[in-house]
Amino acid sequence: MELNNITHAPGAKHAKRRVGRGIGSGLGKTAGRGHKGQKSRSGGYHKVGFEGGQMPLQRRLPKRGFKSTTLKYNDEVTLADLQQLGAAEVDMLTLKAAGLVASIARVVKVVKTGELTTAVKLNGIGATAGAKAAIEAAGGSVA
């Protein structure tokens, strides 16, 4: 086989639909656009949500605020962060004051990244199974 012998599979290529080329094509006269109206004119179309001049739905409804259900205000702290912090007891306020978690965070969890050599007592903070084992191995506790 050579490059000049390569062809498309039978039925893979279709002839382009030629509109407005006579009655025999099935798409003559109005070229499949029907009679009159905005959609039959050249350049005549509208943007998504346009309702013919009527006030669109997204503008008729009142503006309301919302609280995202996908953003649960969760944050993570690593073992290395706790090591750098150097506090014996750690709670939410301590982490927020140190800037390790966002001020809007409600739930904080310690993850096992890095190493912890000092004893740390966690109050009101969760920990993964690996992080909990590492904290307890260093002489700390998770409350």
Give every CB contact of residue 78 below 8 A, 6+ residues apart in sequence: 110, 111, 112, 113, 114
pLDDT of 27 higher than 70: yes
**pLDDT reported for residue 94:** 92
User: What residue ranges define each of the domains in the chain, with the CATH number in brackets?
Assistant: 16-46 (no CATH), 74-142 (3.100.10.10)
Provide the β-strand partners of residue 141.
121
Whole-model pTM: value is 0.50
Instruction: Give pLDDT tens digits for 112-137.
Output: 999 899 999 999 899 999 999 999 99
C-alpha torsion angle, residues 122, 125, 128, 130 (rounded to 10): -10
- Computed over every residue of the chain, the mean pLDDT equals 90
Instruction: Give pLDDT tens digits for 64-73.
Output: 887 776 666 8
Instruction: Give pLDDT tens digits for 95-110.
Output: 999 999 888 888 899 9
Q: What is the mean pLDDT of residues 63-85?
A: 83
**pLDDT reported for residue 69:** 64
